[in-house]
Amino acid sequence: MRCQQRMRKMDEGCLTDLSVHQLRVLLERGEVAPRDVHEAYVRRIEEVDDQLNAYITVCPDFPPELENRHGRPVFPVAVKDNIMTRGIRTTCGSRILARFIPPYDATAILRLKERGLYVLGKTNMDEFAMGSSCENSAFGPTRNPWNLDAVPGGSSGGSAAAVAAGEAPWALGSDTGGSVRQPAALCGVVGMKPTYGRVSRFGLVAFASSLDQIGPITRDVWDCWVLMRALCGHDPLDSTSAPGQAPIPPPQSVESLGGVRIGVPREYLGPGVEDAVRDAVLKAVGVLEELGARAEECSLPHTEYGLSAYYIIAPAEASSNLARYDGVRYGHRTCQASSLLDMYELTRQEGFGAEVKRRIMLGTYVLSAGYYDAYYLRAQKVRTLICRDFERAWARYDLLAAPTSPTVAFPLGERTADPLAMYMADVLTIPVNLAGLPALSLPCGFARGLPVGLQLIGRPFDELTLLRVAQAFQQATDYHLYRPVVGGEVDG
């Protein structure tokens, strides 16, 4: 990789450097208008997106209906391209949906629109969210703003890179096995996967339905807290949405962590975890202790089986979910076919990339007669064991702390020829999805000039504890205040 990239402290005079709660103050004081914020972001995208490729679609026009909101602030948000946006192309990073324009908004988008947010653009991603590097996109890879020769992580790599590089103040991603947290960690921003059932999946293009959740990607914990509040809640349009959930209270500053008990699972710090990542995470746990928390090592003994179980369950569900792309109802249809069967085959052959085809084949295989018991059923049993590991931990701890990713951002192209090496990127995030738990990644240091992410894992529906602990950490540290100097940009 080319030599270490430069970084700088955030500049309070630069609109695209600010977090949303800082922008809100300027908007409320009338010092800037929503249109100024919009134009600053569009300019920034024009300036750096040629190098980063974080966006698949940009919406450059400020929505006229938001011109007069009677002083109520409005904010742009970048949205991963597998979340339905009415009238705005939604491709899933795939050739098969390259021209698909949804006729409706996802529930998550509607909830944000009700609160004065509008879509600034749709961000790049691994095709159908299958990948950990953003290199499996039909629209070309996204690059990491901290080092243009490194990956931003995936599959929500476009969202994470856009927020890190000042191309969006905040963004939505989706997390099936780590796709919000891992790119957030690799790009030095905050990312949260909510408890399964917290945020509606209606309008999120299904990858693995028992694992998928939409989550926020933000510059700091305060903004993450604000977006979580907006996104969470029951939705009758999603049968897996949890009824009767307690709403998330407004963000607050947190000075002390007295009484908080933290477990540090030793399996998450074992071989394969880079030394510099381990050091940064243990140092961060030290900061939490100084704030009053009590931390000790613990064990989640079935962790090592998580990855194998995931790569049976997720492809199984994907093979079924992706059967709908048949060239009949929507998306690409081949022009070469001479029979109906031919049409199905050629459409899918032309429309899907290599990783998606690999997952469909894997999934079809593990679900087929004779293999179902040997693979799928066994993987579900392993999933239960992983859930029990966590349940036992909740008897002693309020949350668990671990690295988000075993390494910092790796070089572009390094793992594309080796799917297993690529799959390892999510070894520390996948167990959380299998158990349906909430987890948050936040910046906790740098190694070789690249950001390191601390992962906090919580009890089901206890996002609040994670947000409070993360907020206390950010009040005591300044890792979240550094910004990458992108490519040839002049250092100000």
- Tokens at residue 481, please? 């205040």
The one catalytic residue in 19, 94, 133, 155 is: 155
Q: Which is nearer to ligand GLN, 129 or 401 (CB)?
A: 129
Residues 6+ apart with CB under 8 A from 251: 21, 222, 225, 226, 229, 467, 471
Residue with Cβ nearer ligand GLN (288 or 434): 434
Closer of 166 and 215 to ligand GLN (Cβ): 215
Question: Which position among 159, 179, 319, 405 bears the catalytic label?
Answer: 179
Binding site for ligand GLN (CB under 6 A): 129-132, 155, 175-179, 207, 314, 426
Q: What is the DSSP letter of 488?
A: T
- Given the complex with ligand GLN, which of 53 and 429 has the nearer CB atom? 429
467: Cβ contacts below 8 Å, ≥ 6 apart: 192, 221, 224, 225, 228, 248, 251, 440
C-beta of 173: minimal distance to ligand GLN in Å? 9
* 122 part of the active site: no
* Active-site annotation holder among 80, 113, 122, 193: 80
**Least distance in Å: CB of 155 to ligand GLN?**
4
The phi, psi pair for 32, rounded to 5°, reads -135, 155
Judged by beta carbon, residue 175 or residue 223, the one nearer ligand GLN is 175
**Distances from the Cα of 139 to the Cα of 298, 346, 480, angstroms:** 43, 20, 30
- For residue 445, the minimal CB distance to ligand GLN (Å) is 23
Q: How far is the CB of 76 from ligand GLN (least distance, A)?
A: 24
Q: Give which of 311, 323, 306, 301 is closest to 375, Cα–Cα.
A: 311
Q: How far is the CB of 129 from ligand GLN (least distance, A)?
A: 4
DSSP assignment, residue 379?
H
Q: In degrees, to the nearest 5, what angle opens at C-alpha 81 toward C-alphas 432 and 115?
A: 85
Give yes or no: 155 in active site.
Answer: yes
| Shortest reach from residue 425's CB to ligand GLN, in Å | 6
CA atoms within 13 A on the CB side of 77: 29
Active site residue 200: no
Distance CA 422, CA 445 (A): 23
Comparing CB distances to ligand GLN, the nearer of 55 and 207 is: 207
Contact 332, 326 (CB under 8 A): no
**Catalytic residue list:** 80, 155, 179
